[in-house]
Structure 1
Amino acid sequence: MNKKVWVVGLLIGLVSLVLAACGGSSSSEEVKTGSKGGNKNEVNLMETAEIPSMDSKKGTDGVSFTAQNQVFEGLYYLDQDDQVQPGVAAGEPELNDAQTVYTIKLRDDAKWSNGTAVTANDFVYAWQKIVDPATAAEYAVIFDGVVKNATAIINGEKKPEELGVKALDDQTLEITLEQPVPYFQSLLTFPTFYPQNQEYVEKQGENYAKDSEHMIYNGAFVMKDWKNTSKTWRFEKNDKYWDKGSVKTDAINVQVVKEPGSAVNLFDTGKLDRANLTGDYAKQKQSDDNYQTELESFVYYLKFNQKQDGKDTIFANANARKAFALAIDKQQLVDTVLGNGSQPATGYVPAKFTFNPETQEDFRTESGTYQKNDQKAAKDYWKQAKQELGIDKITIELLVDDQDFNKKSGEFIQNTLQEQLDGVTVDIKTVPYKNRLQLDENQDYTLQLTRWGPDYQDPSTFLSTQMTDNNYNRASYSNAEFDQLMTKASTELVTQPEERWQAMIDAEKVLLDDAGIAPLYQSGLAVLQKPELTGVVHHLFGAPFSYKWIEKK
């Protein structure tokens, strides 16, 4: 099956992953408004964590994707209404009769910030590097089972040069797929499909994308004053960008702010034009004229690692997983801890995100409600699990990152599990966002509070992550029935939309009845935003935010 996680997403729209985590900011880290722009039209925004990577081959999270989306552009991009528009591409692709070969002409005014033309080879080079096992790109999986020969290349069976992408000339790109992918064009907006200039990247060597001085850009902005550990950075209007006339802002100053109290203070003192709110601050500010909220498509969940250091953990036991999943009151979590418009998760696929291709019914509505809080059932499952495991007491480590709302969520989960499950002690391990991602990648945790955001607009962008061989499973979860349903949805049912849809509904039921994971809540985004600020575009899939249309009037 080979990580055919992505094959699962053949009928794709597009998405985004993992939205921002919280970062931190002290007064010494605050961006000074107009620090480099005098009286220019500038905007001051915050981010919730430091940027893990600006290399489009390496990005895996929403913070990285948001930053990359401001300074790079792919063949297509998402507009203010999440509709696909030509970016570097000059227009719509030409398709062969089998719908497997895309021929795309590039616009002749697409330039890198050093004045070099963006060419078809820039896409060929970047994509071949991503699928090359030597790169160890986590998001190579986005090509797996989609672009011709990607699977064999990822598995070391073919050379990267055999990937189904070629430059017919400087302005013409040809892409060959393994099979028809009706929404492949929207997938091309995703950051992993951005181009890279081979001559420039190879000249920089290991320094490429380590800081803003070792990158060139082809998006609406260029990046300034950033290095890998920065808590502040700056986007400045890119005069080489083909659509620079649509960019109304000269510069955007960004600073990392982890604590909601700091965000409110910076907003109140005019140092932020938009501030994220969580917890008590989100509840306190609901009557503020600057308060706004909207539902996101990120789902936060408990991840049960079944194998750690080569040994089974207690979560290899299904009854233990079910006990932990049912013990938590999700409504209380969103009401008392978050207060930002988040909603209890009734499944893994979020609400208001993807819809039945024929009836337009919300997947969440059709699939139903799973893992509803049930304290009695949780205690019964735990009693059974203890008997099967031969234990009476156990200490579990819960991994969370250092964002304020995640720390508070972790404390809520800790208290709940210790109160509801006899003999359970929960120790919280709090680490910076980037460290949590690394521990997850190394599968060095027992229980983790994490999240997933959609990379494309289809249920498979969530469900496929729990397949046995998926790169993002990282918990040794395996269920043959679930794998079979998801594989079927990505292969034989790919041209039968209703049957495919039902297979994914069935797959979610298998996953959650088995407590492969424990979805907690679908995140809401609460912010304070200055009335003169407009044009902050929040995408429900793909890169979380676009700043191209920002304007401060």
Structure 2
Amino acid sequence: MTVKRKIAGSTLVALTSLLMACENAETDGTAASSSQKNSTEQTISLMAVQEIGSMNSLLSQDSDGFTAQSQVFEGLYRLDEEDNVVPALAAGMPDISEDGLTYTIKMREDSKWSNGTKVTAHDFVYAWKKLADPDTAANYAFLLDGTILNGSEITLGKKSVDELGVKAVDDYTLEVKLQNPTTYFLSLLAFNPFYPQNEEYVESEGDAYASTSDHMIYNGPFTMTDWSNAGSSWSLVKNKDYWDAENVKADEIDFQVIKETGTALNLYDAGELDQAVISGEYVNQRKNDPEYLSTPNAYVSYFRMNQLRNGSDTIFANENVRKAVGYAVDKEALVNNVLQDGSVATYGFVPHGFVKNPETGEDFREEAGDFLVTDKDQALSYWKEAQKEIGETIKIELLTSDGEADKKVAEYLQSQLQDTLPGLNLTIRAVPLQNSIQLTRNSDYDLAFGRWGPDYQDPMTFLANHLSGGNANYSNSEYDGLLEEASTTLANEPEARWEALIKAETILIEEDAGIVPVYQQSTTVLQKDNLKGIVQHNFGSPYDYKGAYKE
């Protein structure tokens, strides 16, 4: 079996949607009829475990949307099989000024939208200004903080979007001014929020833009068909007008949302799926199957403990409660006995194998060490102190998604916490993934179990989530200061910056128990031997199907 980038194709449990492609794309981006298929087409059948949240690259907030978008849209750069940043719509690597603050990027001139319009530098200027505009309410506008010039002030409404540090020098030359030197800036440019949008088309569509596959135009390897918001099936169609169409191998990749592993296995065994995501007891049942694949990724599942809800302190404003929860869960038993999918217990937020010390090459996780290692006695000690302060009986609601694997994990966590912490009454609230994300964003929860995957290759992609003002209402001025230094005064001092980031993570987890990392995910699938060429990435959009094919 051919394996690229650790995996020949897989799906993130409870997160990653897969996609669909067909050769007969129309130039206006509308759906091609299934009756147009013929026997020579390369058709791949895949599953998704959740619906796509949004196809608007400025509004997406989950890996389902990111994965789908990255097949049908393309930015200046993309990631290769080894996660190196390589040119896409850019004609080459950027010209960077000596001070690291100005990037001049020449674009290729043969890329066009699926309605025939050329993709130009103006499309990037328009999209990035919309990303910064507070009226857009873009979920990833924070990526502009401290990176593109004036991005922070614009997202806060303190400056006009016209002051954003980006301009089209001409139709095919983009100039970007940075606030601070940013070592990971190129990896940002491969990420979805920095994709282009065609102003004329988007404005003409108004609120209908990206509401269905018929209300989008595309510039990526595929176009999308048969999708509507929250739809349970969709297709991707090979984009015959894509500048690199000769290297797009699949004609069609068909998708259906399947939330129950048993259903997925039945379809897989019947030959109706080329890949099935499996978890829990199904892993033990099929782990000796020659078509079984287990691959680690950089997603970290963890507890978020909200300290302020509806204007009032929650019990998680109490440090003893947070530390009691942090030490109480047997993470090794969770991954070995419940998940059984190759996921590993983790005791830090920045995952193993994600980023290395720029001077020594040592892995961040190895160098930073372990925090909140399971200790039931320690957990009970903190809990008793908390009970003295807030009462013997403590009620907590645990928010999670309604995915099959997530619900099983939640039940395990409920049992662990209630058995270890006497007087705790923990209830589970399982809701659809998009609802869970929105409740978390609105700080409408007590304890949330979710996951985070990296947007770019730097520890900041994890740590910046917990700056003051976040939706868990955690705040520590020293932590904020260290991250500020890492983004500004230490930007050109790699070793000092690295040490500041390690210290920041220590404060967040070991000292404050602001969050509780639980496990680093692994993906387990059954995959037909003839399915090749799917690439998994450690940051940004999780999967690339440009080179996917069946032998």
TM-score (norm 2): 0.93
Structure 1: distance between partners of 2:218 and 2:289: 38
Instruction: Give 1:408's aligned residue.
Output: 408
Deviations 1:218-245 (A, max 9, x none): 0000000000021100001001100001
Structure 1: distance between partners of 2:37 and 2:326: 51
Contact 2:13 2:523 in 1 (8 A): no
Establish whether residue 447 from structure 1 lines up as the match of residue 444 from structure 2.
Answer: no
Cα displacement (A) at 1:282: 1.5
Contact 1:21 1:48 in 2 (8 A): yes
Structure 2: distance between partners of 1:72 and 1:316: 42
Match of 2:302, SS?
strand
- The 10-residue stretch of structure 1 (34-43 or 277-286) with the greater mean CA deviation from structure 2: 34-43
Structure 1: distance between partners of 2:376 and 2:93: 54
Establish whether residue 72 from structure 1 lines up as the match of residue 73 from structure 2.
Answer: yes
CA spacing shift, 1:23–1:522, aligned 2, 3 Å: closer
Q: 1:496 aligns with which of 493, 496, 511?
A: 493
Cα displacement (A) at 1:96: 2.1
Contact 1:149 1:164 in 2 (8 A): yes
Instruction: Give 1:55's aligned residue.
Output: 56
Instruction: Give 1:525's aligned residue.
Output: 523
Instruction: Give 2:138's aligned residue.
Output: 137
Instruction: Give 1:6's aligned residue.
Output: none
Cα displacement (A) at 1:479: 1.4
Cα displacement (A) at 1:21: 2.4
Cα displacement (A) at 1:19: 5.6
Match of 1:450, SS?
strand
Deviations 1:404-456 (A, max 9, x none): 11000000011111111010011110100010011011111101101111011
CA spacing shift, 1:20–1:209, aligned 2, 3 Å: farther
Match of 1:151, SS?
helix
Deviations 1:340-368 (A, max 9, x none): 11000121110011111011111110011
Contact 1:347 1:512 in 2 (8 A): yes
Match of 1:138, SS?
coil
Cα displacement (A) at 1:38: 3.5
Cα displacement (A) at 1:256: 1.1
Cα displacement (A) at 1:116: 0.7
Contact 1:54 1:67 in 2 (8 A): yes
Cα displacement (A) at 1:97: 2.4
Give, as a single letter, the amino acid of the residue that structure 2 aligns with 1:543: S
Structure 1: distance between partners of 2:318 and 2:407: 27
Give, as a single letter, the amino acid of the residue that structure 1 aligns with 2:436: R
Structure 2: distance between partners of 1:277 and 1:422: 34
Structure 2: distance between partners of 1:266 and 1:82: 32
Give, as a single letter, the amino acid of the residue that structure 2 aligns with 1:135: T
Deviations 1:499-521 (A, max 9, x none): 11111111111111211001100
Cα displacement (A) at 1:265: 1.4
Establish whether residue 475 from structure 1 lines up as the match of residue 445 from structure 2.
Answer: no
| Runs of 4+ with deviation above 6 angstroms | none
Instruction: Give 1:388's aligned residue.
Output: 389
Instruction: Give 1:21's aligned residue.
Output: 14
Give, as a single letter, the amino acid of the residue that structure 1 aligns with 2:457: Q
Cα displacement (A) at 1:203: 0.5
Contact 1:22 1:403 in 2 (8 A): no
Structure 2: distance between partners of 1:179 and 1:478: 24
Instruction: Give 2:168's aligned residue.
Output: 167
Structure 2: distance between partners of 1:345 and 1:313: 26
Deviations 1:108-144 (A, max 9, x none): 1111111110011000000001100111112111111
CA spacing shift, 1:350–1:58, aligned 2, 3 Å: same
Contact 1:455 1:542 in 2 (8 A): yes
Instruction: Give 1:368's aligned residue.
Output: 369
Cα displacement (A) at 1:23: 9.2
TM-score (norm 1): 0.93
Contact 1:112 1:218 in 2 (8 A): yes
Give, as a single letter, the amino acid of the residue that structure 1 aligns with 2:493: Q
- Structure 2: any 5+ residue segments left out of the alignment? 1-10, 18-33
Cα displacement (A) at 1:98: 1.9
Instruction: Give 1:220's aligned residue.
Output: 221
Instruction: Give 1:9's aligned residue.
Output: none
Match of 2:207, SS?
helix
Equivalenced residues, count: 524
Contact 1:22 1:258 in 2 (8 A): no
Establish whether residue 550 from structure 1 lines up as the match of residue 551 from structure 2.
Answer: no
Give, as a single letter, the amino acid of the residue that structure 1 aligns with 2:325: F
Establish whether residue 113 from structure 1 lines up as the match of residue 111 from structure 2.
Answer: no
Contact 1:22 1:402 in 2 (8 A): no
Contact 1:536 1:545 in 2 (8 A): yes
- Structure 1: any 5+ residue segments left out of the alignment? 1-17, 25-33
Cα displacement (A) at 1:20: 5.9
Identity of aligned residues (%): 50
Contact 2:350 2:365 in 1 (8 A): yes
Structure 2: distance between partners of 1:185 and 1:245: 26
Instruction: Give 1:377's aligned residue.
Output: 378
Match of 2:140, SS?
helix
Cα displacement (A) at 1:37: 2.3
Deviations 1:445-502 (A, max 9, x none): 1011011110111111111111113xxx301101122222222222211111111111
Structure 2: distance between partners of 1:198 and 1:22: 30
Structure 1: distance between partners of 2:464 and 2:185: 17
Deviations 1:238-272 (A, max 9, x none): 01100001001101101111111122111111111
Contact 1:23 1:403 in 2 (8 A): no
Instruction: Give 2:297's aligned residue.
Output: 296
Cα displacement (A) at 1:51: 0.5
C-alpha RMSD over aligned residues = 1.5
